[in-house]
C-alpha cells in the first residue's frame, strides 16, 4: 500500500466533491454542470465521484439535504429561546436575513425543470421542501392555538410567509447586512399586521 492510498479519507473526499459541486451548481445551475465538470474541479476521476454518489441527481439531493438539516439545527437552537409565536416569527426573519443562502435556489428550480416531476430524486427534493413548510407551519399553528394569530389555514399562511421571505431575499442581495435585517423586520411587521389577532 502506498502512502497516497493510506492518506485517502473517504469522508474528506465526499466533502470535497460536495463543496466543489455546490460552487458549480451555484454558478451554472443544475443543467449547466456535468460530472466531468465536477471531476475537473475536484481533480477526481468519474469512478471516484460515482463511488460516493449514484449520479448527479444523487449528489444534488445530498447538497439539498445538508442545507435543510443545517437550517433546521440553527432554527431549533434559536427558537428555543422564545415562547410566543410572534417572537419566533421575528427570530425566524432575523435568521433568514442573516443566513439565507440562495446559492442553490436557482439550481433547485433548474433541477426540478430538468429532471422531471416523476423522478425519484425530484420527489425526494419535493418532500424536503414540504417538510420545511410543515416545520414552519407548526409555528403558525402554535400562534393560532395560543390566540396570537387569526383563525386561518396554517398551511396557507406558512406558505405565504415563507414565499414572502424568499421573495425579499431575491431583492436584498445588494444591501448591507444592517439594511437586510431592517427590511426583514419591516416585512415581518407588515405580515403580522395581516395575521395577528
- pLDDT by residue (tens digit) across 97-110? 877 666 777 788 88
By the 8 A CB rule, do 142 and 65 touch? no
**Domain 62-195, what fold?**
Tetracycline Repressor; domain 2 (1.10.357)
What is the SS3 assignment for 196?
strand
106: burial class by Cβ within 10 Å (0-12, 13-18, 19+)? middle
User: What residue ranges of the chain have pLDDT lower than 50?
Assistant: 1-3, 5-6
pLDDT at 144: 95
DSSP structural state of residue 1: -
Give the chain's largest Cα–Cα span: 70
Q: Phi/psi of residue 149, each to 5°?
A: -115, 155
Residue given cell 444534488 in the structure block: 60
Residues paired with 196 in a beta bridge = 149
CB neighbourhood size of 54 (10 A): 10
Distance between CA atoms of residues 95 and 103, nearest Å: 16
Q: What is the CA radius of gyration of the chain?
A: 20
Query: Which residue, 109, 113, 2, is CA-closest to 64?
Result: 109
Amino acid at each position: 500500500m502506498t502512502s497516497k492510498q493510506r492518506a485517502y479519507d473517504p469522508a474528506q473526499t465526499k466533502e470535497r466533491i460536495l463543496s466543489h459541486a455546490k460552487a458549480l451548481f451555484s454558478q451554472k445551475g443544475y443543467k449547466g454542470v456535468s460530472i466531468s465538470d465536477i471531476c475537473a474541479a475536484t481533480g477526481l476521476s468519474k469512478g471516484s465521484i460515482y463511488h460516493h454518489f449514484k449520479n448527479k441527481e444523487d449528489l444534488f439531493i445530498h447538497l439539498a439535504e445538508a442545507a435543510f438539516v443545517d437550517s433546521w439545527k440553527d432554527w431549533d437552537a434559536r427558537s428555543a429561546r422564545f415562547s410566543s409565536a410572534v417572537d419566533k416569527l421575528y427570530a425566524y426573519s432575523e435568521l433568514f436575513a442573516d443566513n439565507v443562502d440562495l446559492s442553490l435556489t436557482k439550481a433547485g428550480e433548474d433541477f426540478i425543470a430538468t429532471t422531471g416531476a416523476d423522478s425519484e430524486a425530484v420527489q425526494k427534493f419535493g418532500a424536503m421542501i414540504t417538510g420545511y413548510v410543515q416545520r414552519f407551519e407548526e409555528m403558525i399553528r402554535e400562534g393560532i392555538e395560543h390566540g396570537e394569530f387569526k383563525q386561518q389555514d396554517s398551511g396557507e399562511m406558512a406558505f405565504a410567509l415563507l414565499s414572502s421571505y424568499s421573495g425579499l431575499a431575491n431583492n436584498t442581495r445588494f444591501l448591507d447586512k444592517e439594511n437586510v435585517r431592517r427590511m426583514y423586520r419591516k416585512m415581518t411587521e407588515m405580515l403580522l399586521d395581516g395575521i395577528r389577532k
